[in-house]
Structure formats: structure tokens, C-alpha cells
Structure 1
Amino acid sequence: MESSPEEVAEYLRMHPEFFEEYADMLAEIQVPHPHGGRAIPISERQIVALRDKNRILQDKLGELIRFGEENGAITEKMHRLAVALLTFTHLADFLHGLNFHLREDFSIPHMALRLWNMTADGPPLPEFTPTGADIRALAESLPRPYCGSHVLDEIRDWFGEDAVRLRSFAMVSLSAEQTIGLLVMGSEDPQRFYPEMGTIYLAQLGELVSAALKRFTRAEG
């Protein structure tokens, strides 16, 4: 009765001494090359398999190194932004500096910000333009930053003439004991902000901006 391939494999697993007793025979066995039709010895086939595994591990290591370098670069940019925001003494300069760093350091070409539940001294700023109830409800309902292609029409209007070119957005809720605003970033690239992207740094950006705004504003009584 002929044995099945599974039975042969199980026998070899249970009797490793077989390979020592029949070493000469094993050296004569030819098997198909994994990357071509020619036959090669079993020993060479094992070497090829090890090379393939090593190549896969090297690719994964390279990917991890690349991710680490990208994260390190973002961390440095976040640090530069935090230091820069601490230097401003006027809210208008703070908002201009935030826009500048997002554009120049983070390659985010368009930013819009609306604030509420707080007031600030000085001349009126567009960031305090009254918003609709839908905007406030949206900001309060965001458990984490949103990334994608859809935003409310009112938000699109914040970007003026640039709105027609924008294809992806990131929305970050701002809070200080209560929701105080919504930061929205836009891009012409539909893949700049996509639903599956990580949002850790966007969340940290929201926390940084929220904390920094406390220096220039006060909660409405």
C-alpha cells in the first residue's frame, strides 16, 4: 500500500536519524528550483529558501528603519513648532506662525481655524467668525482627528477660492475643558489625508494648539 505525502512527511519528522543514515542518497535527490524549472540538490534548495527568507527579513527591517526615520523627522518638526508657538506674544502673530509652520515645515498648503467659547483682546480676527451649530456639533463629536475627502460646505467656504482645488482634509477638534474650536487642513492631493492614515501626530497637534491658545484667550463667562 502506497504511503501518502503527509505520512512520509510525518515519518521523517518522527525519525530524524533517517537523514544521517541515508545522507548519500539525499545528496543525489534533485528537486525543482523555486524560481525556475531546473532541478537542484536538496541542499541547494535549502540555501535558496534561506536566502529568500533573509531577503524578506531585510525588506521588513528596511521598512521599520524608514518608518522610524519618518517618525523622528515628524517629532523634530513638532518640537520646532512648539518652540515657535511659545515665542509669540500676540494672538495674530501666533495664528500667522501656526499657518506658516504647517505650510513650510509640514507641507500642509491650506489651513483654516474657527474658535468659539472664548474671547481675545485686540482687533477682530476671522478665526472668531461665528459658526453654524453643525460645526460646533461636529467638533464636539470628533473622538479623534478626521481624515478624508468629505467636509461640510461651510468648512469648504473657509478656504475661499482655494476650496475648489482641495481634495482631502484633516479636521482636528480643539478643546480646553470644553470644545473651543476646529482646526482644518486641506490639500490638493487626494491621498494627503486619507481615512486609514495614523492620527497620533494630528491629535498631538490639536493638544498643542489648544494649550497654546490659553495664553491669548479667556473662556466666555
Structure 2
Amino acid sequence: MTAIQTPGMNPITEDDIANYLANSPDFFERHAEVLASVQMTSPHGNRAVSLQERQAEMLRDKIKTLEGRIMDMIRHSNENAIIADKLQRWALGLLRTENPLELPERIAADVRSQFQVPQVAIKVWGVSAAHAEQPFALGVSDDAKTFASSLTAPFCGANPGFEAVQWLAEPAAVVSLALLPLRVGAIGSASPAFGMLVLASPDPQRFHCGMGTDFLERMSELASAALTRLRD
């Protein structure tokens, strides 16, 4: 910090000058020639510009930054509207499915087509005796069931070798995945899971640990509500 030495007095610092100007808004009205003579270096071309011009450049930069943020907000809003529309169409398809035995495959097939998810699998356990031998009710270990019950939100991230990945047609192609527990009530409730929906992709960024999960939570709750028709 630069200090101005004054004989017989404490040095005046830049903070002293800044505080004086901040508390003396009429200074530049009394000394307009000072304001006009101040020259600063422009960040655009290293040329000297007046204080007013430098302030105008700063305002233009701020406006450009705000415009960028607004465009991002609009883009995210449009993307969310598109996803919400797809989610509604998916839910309507579940409601129109009359045969409960068709629900697991309908859920997986519509997620693949509506949301362009490369691989989808679903398992449901605790079903009624009449459905206990269906493919969707077989091949799930107790550890996988316990893990599903431990999830109070969708898991999103890299594939560390979950058993559920083996439910997919091409497990070796999975790089990122989302695991959605299926349970009665809200996804974060304490009730045990009675199934799990697996979404997988070869794209490492498709399902990453920092992504928002609001729509995945709604998918989990809608699928859970539809699949209760298979239970005892």
C-alpha cells in the first residue's frame, strides 16, 4: 500500500484517501477538473482511458456477465420444462397400463425411450406369490436388497461394481449410473425398499455425483406407486 509522506504528520495511506472520497461525495463536484484528468489503463488494449470511460467499461463487463447468467437460467429453465413434459408422458403411460405384470418392462422401456437412457433395468421383490417367478422378481441377493433399503436418495456416480449393474444387458459398457430405490411413500422415508430401478450410460458425465436428483426422485416415487399393484 502506498503512503504519502507529509512532514511533521503521519503518512496518508491509500485507505485514508479512499475513505475521504467515499465520505465526501461532493469532492468531484468542487474539483471537476481532477475527475476529468484521471487516467487509467484499460484492460482492453492497455491504452489510457478516463475514469468515466473505465467505469463504463466495468459496467459493460458486468452487464455481459449478467446476460450470460440470464441465458444460463433460460437454458436450464427450458431443459427442466422438457424433462417435466417427458416425466408427465411417462407417468401417463404407467397409469394406462392395465396389466400389472407389464409394469416393470413398461417402466424400463419408457425410461429408455423418453429420457434416452442407454441401459435400464428394474427388479422388484416382495411381490405376491402369483408373481414370484417372474424375471423381474428373480436374481436379487439379500445384500442388494439391504443396499436398496439404505438409499434415501438416488445414487448417481461412477460404477464401482454394484450387483445391480449385472441386471443390465451390457454391464461392461456401464461407466456412470443412477440407482433409484423403490419403496412405499416418499423416496426418503424409512420404509424398506421393495425394488430398484437402474439407469446406466457409457458417458461418465451422464450420471455424476454432483448432479441434481429432483427429477430422479419423482421417477422413483412414480414407479414405486405404480408397482405396488404387484405386491401382496
Q: Please report the TM-score for the alignment, with normalisation by the length of structure 1.
A: 0.92
Aligned to 1:21: 30
1:3 aligns with 2:12: yes
Cα distance in 2 for partners of 1:187, 1:41 equals: 55
Instruction: After TM superposition, list the pairs within 5 Å mapping 1:1-221 onto structure 2.
Output: 1=6, 2-119=11-128, 121=130, 124-160=133-169, 162-176=170-184, 178-215=192-229, 217-219=230-232
Cα distance in 2 for partners of 1:32, 1:141 equals: 59
* Aligned residue type for 1:184: V
Q: 1:116 to 1:154 in 2, by over 3 A?
A: same
CA contact (8 A) 1:117 1:179 kept: no
Question: Cα offset for 1:34?
Answer: 2.5
Q: 1:115 to 1:95 in 2, by over 3 A?
A: closer
Question: Cα offset for 1:213?
Answer: 1.0
Cα distance in 1 for partners of 2:20, 2:163 equals: 71
Question: Cα offset for 1:151?
Answer: 4.6
Cα distance in 2 for partners of 1:120, 1:80 equals: 31
Question: Cα offset for 1:69?
Answer: 0.9
Q: 1:45 to 1:153 in 2, by over 3 A?
A: closer
- Secondary structure of the 1:144 match is coil
Cα distance in 2 for partners of 1:30, 1:10 equals: 20
Alpha-carbon displacement from aligned partner over 1:155-187 (angstroms, at most 9, x marks no partner): 222124x11111011001001254211111111
* Aligned residue type for 2:195: G
Question: Cα offset for 1:129?
Answer: 0.3
Cα distance in 1 for partners of 2:50, 2:82 equals: 48
Over aligned residue pairs, what C-alpha RMSD do you find? 1.7
* Aligned residue type for 1:175: R
Structure 2 residue ranges without an equivalent (≥5): 1-5, 185-190
Question: Cα offset for 1:120?
Answer: 6.4
Cα distance in 2 for partners of 1:13, 1:202 equals: 51
CA contact (8 A) 1:147 1:169 kept: yes
Question: Cα offset for 1:91?
Answer: 3.0
Cα distance in 2 for partners of 1:198, 1:21 equals: 55
Question: Cα offset for 1:25?
Answer: 2.4
Question: Cα offset for 1:64?
Answer: 1.0
CA contact (8 A) 2:109 2:120 kept: no
The range that moved more, 53-62 or 27-36, is 27-36
* Aligned residue type for 2:171: A
The range that moved more, 146-155 or 28-37, is 146-155
